[in-house]
Structure 1
Amino acid sequence: MNLRHRLGRSNGGNAAAAPLLAPRAPEAEPDRYQQIKKQLHRELISKLDLNMLEGLDEGQRRAQVDHLARRLLVEAEIRLTRGDEERLITELLHDTFDLGPITPLLLDEEISDILVNTHRQVYVERLGRLELTSVAFRDEAHLRHIIDRIISRVGRRIDESTPLVDARLPDGSRVNAIIPPAALDGPILSIRRFRRRALSIEDLLELQSLSAETAQFLTGACRARLNLLITGG
């Protein structure tokens, strides 16, 4: 039985689980996982004791949300494999505390750019090469929520009167967000990250960003302490 059917399965018809497992039209079945995650997130927000969470550190807050999410899954009688359950809980934690589905991308040190081309497509630049990922947001509202979270953390706002905003993440990454009406197909987001380790000549050769001749010339120029003018980027 695939994930879509497992998520739609309920044992016992518990009345308390009805809001989470309400019947859906057949055409909506492919979105079942995202729908349950969305509804479970709403349940979490409604049941969390925010005053209690304020007195906890980051690790304790995450532990509380993790525990509550697992309890809600049990109460709703949602049967998942261990792997699917861990994936769901991890994604819920990312949605609650972090930057949603792009959080794992921000943890990957090989990624220098994250390009969210509407909620359906997310590209990354990894080691100098552009890649289409399998990451996606639930819908435009989900992406807009994450954009608002990023912008609000730096004391900025984004709305119809200010549909384009530049900002920085705490780690120094540059962020550019555009929403309608400036973005015709829905919100878009780009994050330019800075590598913790500078690329070496060997790295540039491996990435084919430099030819062997150019690398040899630059190495010789540096050793000879010649003046260099670098343009472009």
Structure 2
Amino acid sequence: MVVDAYRQLARAQKGHARGAPAYSVYVNRRLGRVLAAVAYRLGLTPNQVSIISAVHSFAAIALIAFAPVTVPLGLLIALLLVLGYAWDSADGQVARLRGGGSPQGEWLDHFIDTLKIASLHLAVLIGLYRVLPDTPALLLIPIVFSIVASTTFSGMLLNDLLKGKHAVASTHERGGGTLRRSLVLLPTDFGLVCFVFVLWGWTPGFLVAYGALCAAAVLFLALAAVKWFREIGRLGDPA
């Protein structure tokens, strides 16, 4: 039963990653747990769950880029992004229920995430251009956000790759996170980016909220890059 699968997942949960912000830990993971239990009972594979996540996310991205900028569509976009993010959490949990994941599944998950992160903000660029053709300076916000988000995600993956080669705990090692740290990192949470689209039909409000998240992402990357550079520099030091 779905309830049994949910309970099994709940018992198998590990501590969250040290760099995981609050929404991802305390909301999205639990939503993903529910979806994972349902998917497991339906016999879906982790890769199929990843595809479901991609369908939700890229449907939202297409609406951002090409659909009318209205309040109802903004709500739909936010819902699709939230569900896409929850399904993204569910694929790994389905793999756990089935006895473990695979390198192919991990590749697919990261490939979809990379494409989503890069294309989401470019879709915002297109959508804003359609409603703000005479204010090109504001279009710099999604351009900067796209660069920062893609660089941050790539940096995290590269950190884990290099640390793994040197048998050092990765950025996403489980069990190292704290509530305080998760709350501090909340402004950098992709879940907040999903929810900001409830303001999509109210362009001034959206720009303020979206711009604030962009500024938080820039600040996080600036601080994280210095930390990561120092950590990677120590990998070659003798023990």
- TM class by shorter chain equals under 0.3
Q: TM-score, normalised by structure 1?
A: 0.25
Q: TM-score, normalised by structure 2?
A: 0.25
Structure with max Cα Rg? 1
Q: Between the two structures, name the one with larger relative contact order (CA 8 Å, sep ≥ 6).
A: 2
- Determine which structure has the larger strand proportion and give its number: 1
